[in-house]
Structure 1
């Protein structure tokens, strides 16, 4: 039975879901908004993670379809990377209890801070595409990127989208829009893998998850449309903001 307090909680989470999907579809980092909202609403951590994966996967799928429609996703090279994103996610989920999480958090903090600071001072990064096709080297590096970040997403998660965007720009010479589109599909594959495992273990609250998923679809559609139309001028500042915000969150939560 829906009570007033439950309706209020769902409305609060739906607003957070819209904002999270909007930001995530542009530059990654939507979990910075949605996960704290779950905790603030009194949802238990495991249910929060599982339900967030359910909602985020719906938003990610919407973004992927919009990017495909605008021809910002290149399947010619992604066909090599996607299987490794899947395998990485499976490996990450299966080893989550065997690796010291503190080590991973420290590594990600360093990576995210480096990415954010580098992006601030590099005026040319992601501004224009210099992609000239695939080579054995960039495919090999792309496979390593897909596997490692798939593993990370299955194991831990925060910052995967931002790291994928940065990695695709540096390896393939994409602009921010191309990197966001291709990165979103890779991120979706690792997301859906983790989602299936959360669902199997009954860690999803569909009562709040379904309405949140609807708002994430709307937020993702709006954000992706803006990203495609406004390009790097919109994506870069949001990308830098979310990268540095995530780094601060990890630092404050685990090291201070």
Structure 2
């Protein structure tokens, strides 16, 4: 498909913002995916191109969290493995769903996830109960969170990072920063898996993905740096605004 200047002007700034938000508290896909759809990309191309760009950004954030000592490598590695497998399945299923049907699904899912995040007033708190981390609990929790949320990420995606953070916090008692660090590894694996599936099926636009990747890297770097220094308090209303714009556009296109 033809790539226009307006696509870059819409996508690149919003992908930067998405990377910034995602590296702090997840939910970047609620900004990035709408950016591609607002620019006029078909759903499968939007998913594939977005996953390619965000893979680079998530890698950057992962490195920052690891260097800061905010990743439990056992949990991160296990959840990444199962997240990769889940994402392969989810992405493959996504390719079987017609573009219009997938848009209808997103029309319901995106606002629902955004509202869920907005209503979680306690999200971002570091006050979580301690958990007894037995080897069995670590394996079971990491595998379950990675597989289920990885599958969701491959199928649709937005909110994946936040769901992973919530899962690690609830199941393992990690604070926000450690949950975010482990979530980055799992999300990186699901992004790479999805990127590979969509690339092999010709659903990635490199001319858009590579410039967007640069902005994703910058956003993730700055966001991870801010999160490691001062935590997360900033992202709710930006997500709500962008998803609201997408909802209006998609509804107009469909109806």
Q: Establish whether TM, by shorter chain, passes 0.5.
A: yes
Q: CA RMSD in A?
A: 3.3
Distance verdict in 2 for CA 1:106–1:202, change over 3 Å:
closer
1:124-168 alpha-carbon deviations (Å, 9 max, x no partner): x73246555622235313321211101111112111111111111
Aligned to 2:206: 206
Q: CA deviation at 1:84?
A: 1.5
3-state SS, counterpart of residue 4 of structure 2: helix
Post-superposition shift, 1:237? 4.9
1:42 aligned to 40, 43, 51, which one? Answer: 40
Q: Does 1:166 align with 2:189?
A: no
Give the length in aligned residue pairs: 244
Does residue 1:73 correspond to 2:99, yes or no?
A: no
| Corresponding residue SS for 1:95 | helix
Moved over 6 A (4+): 100-112, 242-254
What's the counterpart of residue 222 of structure 2?
222
Change (3 A) 1:112 1:138: farther
Residues 1-256 of structure 1: pairs in structure 2 closer than 5 A: 6-96=4-94, 97=96, 113=115, 116-117=118-119, 119-120=120-121, 122=122, 126-128=125-127, 130-131=129-130, 134-135=133-134, 136-231=136-231, 235-238=232-235, 240-241=236-237
The answer to which of 22-31 and 10-19 deviates more is: 10-19
SS of the equivalent of 1:226 reads: helix
Flag the 1:174–1:95 CA change in 2: closer, same or farther, 3 A: same
Runs of 5+ consecutive residues of structure 1 not aligned to the other structure = none
Q: In the aligned structure 2, how far is the partner of 1:162 from the partner of 1:92?
A: 18
Asked if structure 1 preserves the Cα contact closer than 8 Å seen for 2:65 and 2:224, the reply is yes
Q: Gaps spanning 5+ residues in structure 2: where?
A: none
Decide which moves more: 73-82 or 185-194.
Answer: 73-82
Instruction: Indicate conservation of the 8 Å contact 1:59/1:216, yes or no.
Output: yes
* Partner Cα distance (1:196, 1:226) in 2: 30
* TM-score normalised over the length of structure 2: 0.80
Contact 1:29 1:246 in 2 (8 A): no
TM-score normalised to the size of structure 1? Answer: 0.80
What CA distance in whole angstroms lies between the structure 1 residues aligned with 2:77 and 2:60? 20
What's the CA shift for 1:81? Answer: 2.5
